[in-house]
Amino acid sequence: MTPFPRCHGGVAVIRRRHLLGAAALAATVPAAAQEAARPIRILVGFTPGGGTDLLVRSFSNRLAEILGQSVVVENRPGAGGNIATEAAVRAAPDGHTLVLGTVGSLIVNPVIFRDLPYDVDADLVPVALAGDIFNVLVVPAARPWRNLGELIAAAKARPGGLSWSHSGVGTSLHLAGSLFDRVAGIETVSVSYRGGAPMATDLMAGRIDYSFATAASVMPALREGRLRALAVPAATRRPGLEDVPTVAESGLPGFAVNNWAGLLAPRGTPQPAIARLDAAIRETLRDPATRENLARNGIAPLSGGPAEFATLWQDDRQRWEPIIRASGARPN
């Protein structure tokens, strides 16, 4: 029989050997595998429950499965998405931080905010498109207006008497509401919120007269009859809202405001990391369950990698920048 070590020194030697063996094993694990164990962080510039938040949360779990690593959605609301964007710009460019960019944060904000501490073109790179978040003009169920014409007539009868809300200066909702005032020839009061969810709450309570809202944030209230949809600011009617006319069909020709969103990374992120994330996001958005989840929240998946994202971004910038500058819009 092998005698049991008669002193604690023998145990110490055994433990030391185990520790040395574990260290040697860890050293053999590829660095890429160790990096993959770290979570992917997606920054969202608005409060939970709004359209942008629901977009990311609709696919984050499936994305985690495809990547084989956890995906954390982090809300950094405020300043129309600027707070989240700045946090992404300042993050390490190692492929573990993404930010959800929107028409507002990438096109509108650089025009209306004079002293942004970053440059969206110089400090961020497109990774993949994610979704088209439908917008819809809604009013509280208690208001009498049944169509856009009646709302415009009420606003003209009481200049400065009606209020409308949006989820932050610089968002596509703010852009849509501001353009609506100008095109319809009405004078109203705008109220800014930090996200779609708190905005919808006040709207349902009747504290606001109308709003351009993301369909994602108001779909439940529309189904329950607490809000009424009057029009969609799009070129065509939207899935899930087929009975709701477009603003153009309601008497304001050519009125359409896109509300796409995509994921970006800090400039300097390695190209292999971008390619890996792009491929995983595209695969996620092809998943039937993910697409059904998006549709339920009033969102259509948008497929496209860095090149397609950059083209859409630049095309819409050329379209909207002159209009934004002419409007004279500034943060509240």
Q: Which of 253, 235, 85 is nearest to 170 (CA)?
A: 85
pLDDT > 70? residue 332: no
Which of 59-68, 110-119, 163-172, 236-245 ranks highest by mean pLDDT? 59-68
Amino acid 168: pLDDT: 74
**How confident is the model over 242-271, as pLDDT tens digits?**
999 999 999 999 898 888 999 999 999 999
Q: How far is CA 269 from CA 91, 126, 246, 264, in A?
A: 10, 11, 40, 10
CA distance 180 to 213: 13
Q: What global pTM score does this model have? A: 0.78
pLDDT > 50? residue 13: no
Amino acid 36: pLDDT: 58
**How confident is the model over 20-29, as pLDDT tens digits?**
444 444 444 4
pLDDT mean over 136-162? 97
pLDDT > 80? residue 3: no
In the predicted model, what is the mean pLDDT of the chain?
87
% of the chain at pLDDT higher than 90:
63
pLDDT > 90? residue 327: no
Amino acid 84: pLDDT: 97
pLDDT bin (cut points 50, 70, 90) of residue 34 is: low
CA distance 290 to 153: 41
Burial class (CB in 10 A: 0-12, 13-18, 19+), 29: exposed
% of the chain at pLDDT higher than 70:
88
pLDDT > 50? residue 208: yes
pLDDT > 90? residue 51: no
pLDDT > 70? residue 107: yes
CATH fold of 135-231 reads D-Maltodextrin-Binding Protein; domain 2 (3.40.190)
Amino acid 4: pLDDT: 40
Amino acid 226: pLDDT: 96
Interhelix angle 51-67/271-286, nearest 10 degrees: 110
pLDDT mean over 270-274? 98
Amino acid 171: pLDDT: 76
Amino acid 26: pLDDT: 45
Q: How far is CA 186 from CA 10, 182, 189, in A?
A: 88, 7, 10
Amino acid 30: pLDDT: 55
Query: Where do the structural domains in the chain lie, given as residue ranges?
Result: 38-133+259-327, 135-231
CATH of domain 38-133+259-327: 3.40.190.150
pLDDT bin (cut points 50, 70, 90) of residue 35 is: low
**How confident is the model over 285-302, as pLDDT tens digits?**
999 999 999 988 889 899
Amino acid 29: pLDDT: 44
Burial class (CB in 10 A: 0-12, 13-18, 19+), 180: buried
pLDDT bin (cut points 50, 70, 90) of residue 276 is: very high
